[in-house]
Amino acid sequence: MSPEALPPTRRSFLRAGTAAALALTATGCGFASADDPAGRATAEAPIDVKVDGDLVYFNWADFVDPAVFEGFQKEYGVKVVQSNYDSMEGMAAKLNAGNRYDIIFPTAKWAERLTAGGRLRTIDHSRLRGAEAVFGGYGYFADPWYDPRSAHTVPFTMYKTGIGWRRDRLGDLTGSWNDLWNEQAKGKVFVLDDRDEVLGLGALKLGLGLTTGDHGDLARVTDTLRSLRPRLRGFSSDSYNNLLNGNADMTQAWSGDMAAMLAQAEDPTVFGFEVAREGAPVNSDCYAIPANAEHPGTAMLFIDYMLRPENVKKNIEYIGYPMPVRGTEDTYAALVEPFPQCVVTADDLGADLFFRNGDARVEQARDAAWTDVKAG
Amino acid sequence: MARTQQTGTEIPPPRDPAAPHTPPPARTRPRNRPQPRLWTWLLLPGTLWMTGFLVASLLLVATLALGTTDPLGNPRFGLNFANLTALADPAYRTVLLRSLGYALITCLISLAVAYPVAYAIALRGGRFKNLLIAAIVVPFFANYLVRMYGWSVVLSDDGPLLRTLRAIGLADDGTQILQTGVGVIAGLVYGFVVFMIIPLYAAMERMDTSLIEAGRDLYGGPLRTFLFVTVPATRQGAAAGCVLVFLPAMGDFVSAQLMGGPDQIMIGNLIQDKFFQGQNWPLGSALTMLLMAVLFLGMLGYLRRTRKDEAEATR
């Protein structure tokens, strides 16, 4: 993996900078309806796996090795038309506005919402040559909570949330969310700028449900997080840059970003990554084909192409996130050798600490709690 | 017209038919007279565009503030006053007051920075004037986000600024700029100071420099002349600059996001969160209305002030 392959502007940076997206969403906001029986019937029709046009691709920036795109374009004689989003909300807003993409990469929570809203085509796994390595190797994804029998999705990446820290400044940590309250790191601690992740760490520390919407629970969570504020330097999803440029001694971080950081660090041994014993939120991005995709056949071919072991390995090395494809585990383990906790195991998935969707009341309560945490 | 006639009667023009005296007001008058209809037509598209889109988007935001969000994140219109009552949360007041404070300080610092720059370019720039203005404006063509990101690197703990300050003993290991109010205001000033320099420069260009000479003739030192002659003569440019800096600074969210810590969140960050993280567009709209209400008060003050100034100027 070459450092040039990993510019500092990836997912986290894009999350931080949403100025452009604000303008785009503001102009692109349509108010399309999902209640359309005819649309549902099309959405459930099986897709012929064949080239039916260029691939209109919509993902986080820089989340697939360019060499893999090139291979796909050459082999099937199509073009990949790329666009990027910087948040799941931005992605959904574009879909809601009626924009047409052939392939998108929602997180588990968003896969559930989009499926429930009838926004995704069904994917017949028997038509994908690479499906066996995924569903046979990772039983969890054969029937995940967010999409029964993975009928509309194929898992793309897996990751969990932990703590990245400067070993040279803090030494060893204890492997608990309590480490964020470490006296030595005072004033140099960051948490992610993400509602679910931050409320989630408070809930896990207190032994509460990860995505609780209960007012009493949330009050305890916000109290706990308030006690973290004096130690906190900021809310930022740019974890690895904060560690690299010395602004952070410790930061809540996604395992994939920490793995990506290894390629940039001059001396990786000064950094550490741990996963708290109280539990680590786990997540997964999926391949999905929107119901209004114009070239679903090409999208199916693309998924199959991406699932070829040699391409999976290239992508793992490029983005730093493990992929649930049997036979690629060694590639990832070698990549994150200094941070073995980045590996996502069947046990991690089994613990099922995914962020779940709540009803309107729950979402509102969590929103208010997040405002309290953030605005103090 | 009445005035011209009066002047004509009080100071009779020389009775030389070969060199008829034209009084100055008569020379400027015809510019206002011809084809009023043409001007109306020229103004029409812009005015329609602005009112249409401003009013339409304002109405959209106002009605959204009373709406809800469906499970897919689509905003739904309705009559739900929960978003407005949610604004009573004291957290919003704290953040709003903080944003006001930051925006005001940004204005003051920008004034202090922009006055000497504008003064030097306008009055001492000579043949380099255009070059100097270009040197200030051209960097601002680069994407705002990219510049702010770069600025955050400059101000970071191991960044060039603090490293230099530490090397010459002006800062110690614990000194931080990022994630402090100073960092956020530095970002805001860096981002918007050009909007202060340009109107001030324009005002100084238009200023009658003989006033400065007059000030000196009356034994004013450089500082007194500046304060009592230059500043009053350019106060309209300063007021325009303050509005141009204050409005975007108040609503900015990038600076607090990249340069601020947990105690520097601004109202723009909360609005951005509502739209992008919670997908709570209705509450985001309600917050936007609140911000606009506050900004509207500021604008009203500015408009009254300029109207008064104009009234004085034309008296």
Q: B272 contacts in A (CB within 8 Å)?
A: 18, 22
Structure tokens that stand for A368 in this block: 């208010």
Return contacts of A207-210, CB within 8 angstroms, 24+ apart: A207/A278, A210/A279, A210/A281, A210/A353, A210/A354, A210/A355, A210/A356
> Residue A37: which pLDDT band, with cuts at 50, 70 and 90?
low
- Of the residues A11, A18, A33, A243, the best mutation for testing chain B's interface (the one with the most B CB atoms within 10 Å of its CB) is A18
SS3 at position B230:
helix
Query: What mean pLDDT is predicted for residues B158-182?
Result: 90
For chain A, the average pLDDT equals 89
Q: A96 contacts in B (CB within 8 Å)?
A: 72-74
The 10 Å Cβ neighbour count of residue A184 is 10
A262-273 pLDDT tens trace:
988 999 999 999
SS3 at position A81:
strand
* pLDDT winner (highest mean) among A51-55, A364-368, B208-212: A51-55
Residue B222 has pLDDT above 90, yes or no: no
- Of the residues B68, B151, B257, B263, the best mutation for testing chain A's interface (the one with the most A CB atoms within 10 Å of its CB) is B257
Instruction: List the single residue in B257, B276, B278 with the smallest CB-CB distance to A367.
Output: B278
Find the length of chain A.
Answer: 376
Instruction: Please name which of B108, B264, B282 lies closest in space to residue B196, comparing C-alpha atoms.
Output: B108
Query: What distance lies between CA A58 and its chain's CA centroid?
Result: 14
End-to-end CA distance of chain B: 15
Residue A18 pLDDT: 39
Residue A217 has pLDDT above 60, yes or no: yes
Distance separating alpha carbons of residues A51 and A102, to the nearest angstrom:
12
Phi-psi bin for A150: left (phi > 0), alpha (psi -120 to 50), beta? left
Query: What mean pLDDT is predicted for residues A315-331?
Result: 95
**Cβ-defined contact of B273 to A374 (cutoff 8 Å):** yes
Structure tokens that stand for B66 in this block: 């009373």
Distance separating alpha carbons of residues B138 and B114, to the nearest angstrom:
16
User: Phi, psi (5° rounding) for residue A86?
Assistant: -120, 5
A237-290 pLDDT tens trace:
889 889 998 889 999 999 999 998 998 899 999 999 999 999 999 999 999 999
A338-359 pLDDT tens trace:
999 999 999 999 999 999 999 8
> Residue B21: which pLDDT band, with cuts at 50, 70 and 90?
low
Query: What mean pLDDT is predicted for residues B247-272?
Result: 93
Residue A33 pLDDT: 44
Q: B257 contacts in A (CB within 8 Å)?
A: 16-17, 193
Query: What mean pLDDT is predicted for residues B189-200?
Result: 96
DSSP E strands: which ranges in chain A?
55-60, 80-85, 103-104, 153-166, 189-191, 232-235, 250-254, 271-274, 282-288
Q: How far is A327 from chain B (nearest CA, A)?
A: 36
Structure tokens that stand for A215 in this block: 């007012």
* Contact predicate A77/A28, CB 8 Å: no
> Residue A90: which pLDDT band, with cuts at 50, 70 and 90?
confident
**Percent of chain B residues past pLDDT 70, beyond the cut:** 89
Residue B36 pLDDT: 77
Instruction: Name residue A81's beta-bridge partners.
Output: A56
Residue A24 pLDDT: 36
Residue B33 pLDDT: 58
**Percent of chain A residues past pLDDT 70, beyond the cut:** 89
> Residue A4: which pLDDT band, with cuts at 50, 70 and 90?
very low
A156 burial class (0-12, 13-18, 19+ CB within 10 angstroms)?
Answer: buried
A193-208 pLDDT tens trace:
999 999 999 999 999 9
Instruction: Specify the DSSP class assigned to residue B165.
Output: H
Structure tokens that stand for A35 in this block: 């209640």
- Of the residues B276, B280, B288, B290, the best mutation for testing chain A's interface (the one with the most A CB atoms within 10 Å of its CB) is B276
Q: A232 contacts in B (CB within 8 Å)?
A: 261-262
* Contact predicate A182/A173, CB 8 Å: yes
Residue A68 has pLDDT above 90, yes or no: yes
Q: B275 contacts in A (CB within 8 Å)?
A: 22, 25, 89
Distance separating alpha carbons of residues A153 and B218, to the nearest angstrom:
82
Query: What mean pLDDT is predicted for residues A83-103?
Result: 92
A5 burial class (0-12, 13-18, 19+ CB within 10 angstroms)?
Answer: middle
B99-134 pLDDT tens trace:
999 999 999 999 999 999 999 999 988 899 999 999
Query: What mean pLDDT is predicted for residues B245-268?
Result: 93
Residue B50 has pLDDT above 70, yes or no: yes
Instruction: Please name which of A126, A78, A119 lies closest in space to residue A295, comparing C-alpha atoms.
Output: A78
Closest residue in B to A372 (Cα) is B91
**Cβ-defined contact of A96 to B73 (cutoff 8 Å):** yes
B294 burial class (0-12, 13-18, 19+ CB within 10 angstroms)?
Answer: middle
Residue A81 pLDDT: 96
Residue B62 has pLDDT above 80, yes or no: yes
